[in-house]
DNA sequence: CACGATGCTGCCAACGCTTGCAGCAATTGT
DNA sequence: ACAATTGCTGCAAGCGTTGGCAGCATCGTG
């Protein structure tokens, strides 16, 4: 057995209450008592049993984060930011990776919710109905009492009716990208789409479609592709028969695979064909030529999701409207795009 | 307030013990009772309060994972494996990212240990002394009782005396790499070293040194470099004045930055200079030419660390010697290496 | 028919800490 | 000098589950 509060109290010849207060609300006990308690606690090697504390106080200081694939740089960058912000605010992060299986999300959410004070769902793949269910988890009534044990949920990179969330507005970035391509002379653009279950893919597709119509470019679509380098390579083999002179990929992974394979085929990226990716962290610089990309503020997304969640955790937030925040994206021009050669 | 066991018991007209057993040890109650309890619990929307359960049972079913940088693909791949294995065994993962700050490791370990049943420290940067301290956390004695509240620790990618761990034996892989370069005619090899605090860097350096002596190649060292693409780019500017015809980088990030910058400088990688990386996940294929790399089984490392940890969690493991496991590395030959041109 | 075995269920203490309330002394104001 | 206030500490009731022990039918066996 470990040293408990009772042990410390016994040695101090004080009641447990006082010891507990000395350790948790130092301002509520005499300064001398406090330092004596602190010293003895230290000498005995007392460490508070956090689990018990959580049980009594109804909070674990844990936030749960669910991502589709932590190995995807976009999510690992975001996770890093979540973790960092949470740590600074005194919270720990429990991580769940669904490996892109939408069906697992409710399960994972349920399990995390049992121990976390709140949940962040990043780019969830499940449908709106299921997500809404997760968001207001089991509001059953019983014996005239409201049922509470529901963890607040914040969605990142996904809009769900009536739920709190942070999203990245990709519209502007995509529009910039298309406009830039058109200004370079490209008239036929190919979108390499991401997994159908991705809400972002829908948005990107819409945004590109609208931009192409606005700027008078023709749009073709290829896909869906998994957000992985291998998939991008496969895309390279298909794209050349489409007559497009420029491609926008669902994400940098696909774009990277694409230009690697094109380079292998001796196609000069940035000259014979222009490629634009969509940001997943610092990877866009790994290629040669370096990837022109629509930068997504993944780190800010994560940090903000934490802020929103902690805000909701405050009981004062109970009544308030779930907050929605929108971040901006922007085009970063590098070497993988260039003037259309006739 | 939420529905508690007591509520369910009241509706069932049974004692809490019976309800508890019906839900947790179904075989210990009458089949009819059990299904009645299950039905009513479901109807009332009862969900067991895991925190209380943990408090009583002394286990949280959480394992803590500490990594230096989750945005580094090596760790995100490993984390994914840890998470996956843990989930399959009924555990959740709490993640801490120290952002390469060795000094933070003890703090993070302490906090995680308060809520986790055990800890995995991946490539910790702190020194052996501190790590040993973490591993046997505070064995103070008091009033004739042993102090237990110490979470078992497993180290991944680091050997610590007397502690359990999984490491990757990079010796063979590095030797293969050097041997291969020599067989291609290279006699002067440059090692781009990683951060000095990295234990792996020491091992890799030693391994390469030994291999160079064994195969009669001359070794120069450049560095230290942070494991990031940017750092690799900087390396490119330095390496060309060193007369080496081949380089081995501390990791793929550095290698990727290196060859991207070299390509920019119109140096033909794989012909004028050969580059070998050390695996961080699937990135080695992102470059053109694709990176020859020493493959490190990061996913296996993670899964195995979980297995070891869960093993140690079994009280039967109390006496046993802390297990040590060693995984193999191997060279994967791709396009970034080639015959030396005179 | 009696007796032990067996199968279920209930009682109750325990887990370690927090916190509202009350008690008590010292301090302050009048 | 007395009441009111202030500052500190102790008491005890929880928090929601679990599990050892005991009680009580029911069953099978000699």
Which CATH number characterizes residue B173's domain? 3.40.50.2300
Q: Other C-beta atoms within 10 Å of A339: how many?
A: 12
| Domain span holding position B152 | 61-168+299-326
CB A41 within 8 Å of CB A18: no
Identify the pLDDT of residue B287.
Answer: 80
Residue of chain B whose alpha carbon sits nearest to that of A267: B288
User: Which among A245, A277, A286, A250 has a CA at the least distance from the CA of B288?
Assistant: A286
Smallest CA–CA distance from A109 into chain B, residue: B92
Cα–Cα distance for residue pair B63/B330, rounded to 1 Å: 30
Mapping DSSP to helix (H, G, I), strand (E, B) and coil, where does residue A328 land? strand
Token pair of B287 as six digits: 């470059």
Q: Is residue A336 part of a domain?
A: no
Quick check: A30 CB within 7 A of strand C? no
The verdict on a CB contact (< 8 Å) between B138 and A52 is no
Q: Given CB atoms, is B89 within the 8 Å cutoff of chain A? A: no
Q: What are phi and psi of B190, to 5 degrees?
A: -115, 130
Distance CA B20, CA A268 (A): 68
In a domain, A257, yes or no: yes
Query: Is A322 among the domain residues?
Result: yes
* Other beta carbons within 10 Å of B88: 10
* A82 domain residue, yes or no: yes
Give residue numbers, 14 to 73 of A, with CB < 7 Å from strand D: 14-18, 21-22, 28-33, 55-56
Which residues in A246-262 are b (16+ Cβ under 10 Å) and which e?
Answer: bbbbbbbbbbbbbbbbb
Residue nearest to nucleotide D12 (CA to C1'): A17
Report the share of chain A in percent with pLDDT over 70. Answer: 94
pLDDT of B143: 33
- Average per-residue pLDDT in chain B? 88
φ and ψ of B192, to 5 deg: -90, 105
Residue B144 clears pLDDT 60, i.e. is over it: no
pLDDT band at A81 (very low <50, low <70, confident <90, very high): very high
**B202 and B265 inside one domain:** yes
Predicted pLDDT at A143: 34
| Furthest-apart CA atoms within chain A: distance in Å | 90
Residues of chain A contacting residue B229, judged by C-beta atoms under 8 Å apart:
282-283, 285-286
- A45 Rama sector, left if φ>0, alpha if ψ -120 to 50, beta otherwise: left
Put simply, the answer to whether A44 touches B140 (Cβ < 8 Å) is yes
Question: How many Å apart are B312 CA and C9 C1'?
Answer: 36
Query: Can you give the pLDDT at residue A138?
Result: 37
Neighbouring-strand partners of residue B331: B294
Pairwise CB contact (< 8 Å): B96 & A80: no
Q: Does residue A180 have a pLDDT over 60?
A: yes
Q: Is residue B341 part of a domain?
A: no
Asked if A45 and B77 come within 8 Å (Cβ–Cβ), the reply is no
CB contact under 8 A, B76 and A93: no
Q: How far apart are CA A319 and CA A125, in angstroms?
A: 28
* Residues 7-66 of chain B in contact with strand C via CB under 7 angstroms: 13-18, 21-22, 28-33, 55-56
How close B215 gets to chain A, by Cα (Å)? 32
Query: Domain containing A43 — which CATH number?
Result: 1.10.260
Q: What is the DSSP letter of B273?
A: B
For residue A269 the two structure tokens come to: 């990226």
Contact A203, A250 (CB under 8 A): no
Q: How many Å apart are CA B247 and CA B212, to the nearest integer?
A: 12
Same domain for B148 and B262, yes or no, is no
Query: Rounded distance, CA B11 to CA B5, Å?
Result: 10
Residue A78: pLDDT over 60:
yes
Q: Are residues B284 and B255 in the same domain?
A: yes
Does B140 score more than 60 pLDDT?
no
Radius of gyration from C-alpha coordinates of chain A:
26
For β-strands B92-97 and A92-97, DSSP reports them as antiparallel
Whether CB of A17 is under 7 Å from strand C: the answer is yes
Q: How far, in Å, CA of B168 to CA of B327, rounded? A: 5
Same domain, B278 and B313: no
- A206: contact with B, CB 8 A cutoff: no
Cβ separation B286–A260 shorter than 8 A: yes
A183 and A290 housed in the same domain? yes
Do B159 and B305 belong to one domain? yes
Nucleotides of strand C lying closer than 7 angstroms to a protein CB: 7-12, 14-20
Nearest to A153 by CA among A141, A162, A144: A162
User: What is the rounded CA–CA span in Å between residue A67 and residue A192?
Assistant: 22
* A115 and A218 within one domain: no
Give the E-state strand segments of B250-332 in sequence order: 274-278, 292-295, 324-328, 330-332
Q: Are the C-beta atoms of B172 and B330 separated by less than 8 Å?
A: yes
Question: H/E element holding A106?
Answer: helix A105-115
Preceding peptide of A289 cis, ω within 30°: yes
What does the pLDDT read at residue A241?
62
Asked if A198 and A229 sit in the same domain, the reply is yes
Asked whether the predicted pLDDT for residue A44 surpasses 60, the reply is yes
Report the distance separating Cα A154 and Cα A323, nearest Å: 9
* Angle at which helices A105-115 and B50-57 cross, to 10°: 60
- Contact across the interface for B95 and A94, Cβ inside 8 Å: yes
Q: Does A299 touch chain B (CB under 8 A)?
A: no
Question: Under an 8 A CB cutoff, do B50 and A114 touch?
Answer: yes
Measure A47 CA to nearest chain B CA, in Å: 8
Tell me the per-residue pLDDT of B275-326, one tens digit each, with 9 for 90 and over.
Answer: 999 987 778 888 888 899 999 999 999 999 999 999 988 877 767 788 999 9
Backbone φ and ψ for B256, nearest 5 degrees, come out as -65, -45
Q: Which of A4, A90, A115, A137 to mutate to test the interface with B (most CBs of B within 10 A)?
A: A115
Does A271 fall in a domain? yes
B55 CB neighbours in chain A (<8 A) are 49, 51-52, 54-55
Residues A293, A193: one domain?
yes
Residue B51 to residue A48, Cβ atoms within 8 A: no
CB B98, CB B108: distance < 8 Å: yes
Cβ-Cβ contacts under 8 Å, B6 against chain A? none
A286 and chain B: CB distance < 8 Å anywhere? yes
Bases of chain D within 7 A of a CB of the protein: 7-12, 14-20
Distance CA B305, CA B299 (A): 10
How much is the pLDDT for B115?
A: 94
A90 located within any domain: yes
Same domain, A193 and A246: yes
B58-96 per-position pLDDT tens digit: 999 999 999 999 999 999 999 999 999 999 999 999 999
Name residues whose C-beta falls within 8 Å of residue A168's C-beta, 6 or more positions apart in sequence. Answer: A157, A296, A297, A301, A326, A327, A328, A329
Q: How far is CA A242 from CA A190, A293, A301, in A?
A: 8, 22, 35
- Asked if residue B332 belongs to a domain, the reply is no
**CB pair distance less than 8 Å for A71 and B76:** yes
Q: Is the pLDDT of residue B6 over 50?
A: yes
The DSSP 8-state label assigned to residue B14 in this structure reads S
| Residues A205 and A283 occupy one common structural domain | yes
Nucleotide nearest to A25 (CA to C1'): C18
pLDDT tens figures, A143-178: 333 444 578 999 999 999 989 999 999 888 999 999
Q: Which residues are B166's β-sheet partners?
A: B156, B325
Q: Tell whether A190 and A106 lie within a shared domain.
A: no
Angle made by CA atoms B333, B334, B335, in degrees to the nearest 5: 135
DSSP at B329: -
Provide the token pair at A266: 């001796």
- Laid out side by side, the sheet with B118-122 consists of A324-328, A164-169, A153-156, A118-122, A62-67, A92-97, B92-97, B62-67, B118-122, B153-156, B164-169, B324-328
Q: How far is CA B98 from the centre of its chain?
A: 13
Shortest CA distance to A199 belongs to which of A274, A105, A298, A126? A126
pLDDT number for residue B242: 67
A147 by DSSP, 3-state: which? coil
B96 reaches A (C-beta below 8 A): yes
Q: What is the CA radius of gyration of chain B?
A: 26
SS (H, E, C) B61-130: CEEEEEECCCCCHHHHHHHHHHHHHHHHCCCEEEEEECCCCHHHHHHHHHHHHHHCCEEEEECCCCCHHH
* Chain A neighbors of B83, CB-CB under 8 A: 70, 95-97
Contacts 24+ apart (CB under 8 A), B233-239: B233/A285, B233/B257, B233/B258, B233/B260, B233/B261, B235/B192, B235/B261, B236/B261, B236/B262, B236/B265, B237/B261, B239/B190, B239/B192, B239/B273
Look at chain A and report how many structural domains it folds into.
3
What is the pLDDT, as a whole number, of residue B241? 62
A282 vs A14, residue with greater confidence: A14
Which of A234-238, A255-259, B66-70: highest mean pLDDT? B66-70
The distance (Å) linking the CA of B36 with the C1' of C15 is 29
CA B323 to C1' C16 (Å) is 33
Residue B64: what pLDDT?
A: 97
Interface test with A, best of B61, B71, B93 (most A CBs within 10 A): B71
Residues 33-52 of B with CB under 8 A from A: 44-45, 47-52
B2: chain A residues, CB-CB within 8 Å: 147-149
State which residue of chain A sits closest to B78, comparing Cα positions.
Answer: A71
How large is the angle between the packed helices A31-44 and A5-12, nearest 10 degrees?
A: 120
Cβ neighbours of A42 (radius 10 Å): 10
């Amino acid at each position: 057995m470990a040293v408990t509060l009772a042990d410390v109290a016994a040695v101090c010849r004080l009641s447990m209450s006082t010891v507990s207060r000395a350790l948790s609300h130092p301002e509520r006990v005499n300064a001398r008592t406090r330092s004596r308690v602190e010293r003895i606690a230290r000498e005995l090697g007392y460490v508070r049993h956090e689990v018990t504390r959580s049980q009594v106080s109804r909070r674990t200081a844990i936030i749960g984060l669910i991502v589709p694939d932590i190995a995807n740089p976009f999510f690992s960058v975001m996770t890093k930011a979540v973790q960092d912000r949470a740590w600074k605010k005194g919270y720990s992060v429990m991580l769940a990776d669904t490996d892109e299986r939408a069906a697992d999300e409710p399960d994972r959410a349920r399990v995390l919710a049992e121990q976390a004070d709140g949940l962040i769902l990043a780019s969830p793949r499940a449908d709106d109905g299921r997500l809404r269910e997760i968001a207001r988890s089991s509001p059953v009534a019983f014996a005239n009492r409201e049922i509470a044990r529901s963890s607040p949920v914040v969605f990142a990179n996904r809009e769900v009716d009536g739920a709190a969330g942070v999203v990245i507005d990709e519209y502007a970035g995509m529009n910039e990208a298309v406009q830039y391509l058109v200004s370079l002379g490209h008239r036929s653009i190919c979108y390499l789409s991401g997994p159908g279950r991705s809400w972002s893919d829908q948005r990107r597709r819409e945004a590109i479609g609208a931009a192409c119509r606005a700027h008078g470019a023709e749009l073709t679509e290829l896909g869906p592709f998994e957000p992985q380098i291998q998939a991008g390579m496969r895309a390279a083999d298909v794209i050349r028969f489409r007559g497009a002179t420029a491609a926008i990929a669902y994400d940098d992974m696909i774009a990277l695979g694409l230009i690697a394979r094109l380079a292998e085929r001796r196609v000069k990226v940035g000259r014979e064909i222009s490629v634009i990716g969509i940001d997943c962290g610092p990877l866009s610089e790994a290629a040669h030529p370096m990837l022109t990309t629509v930068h997504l503020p993944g780190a800010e997304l994560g940090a903000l999701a934490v802020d929103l969640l902690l805000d909701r955790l405050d009981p004062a937030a109970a009544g308030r409207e779930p907050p929605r925040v929108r971040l901006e994206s922007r085009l970063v021009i590098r070497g993988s795009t260039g003037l259309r050669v006739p």
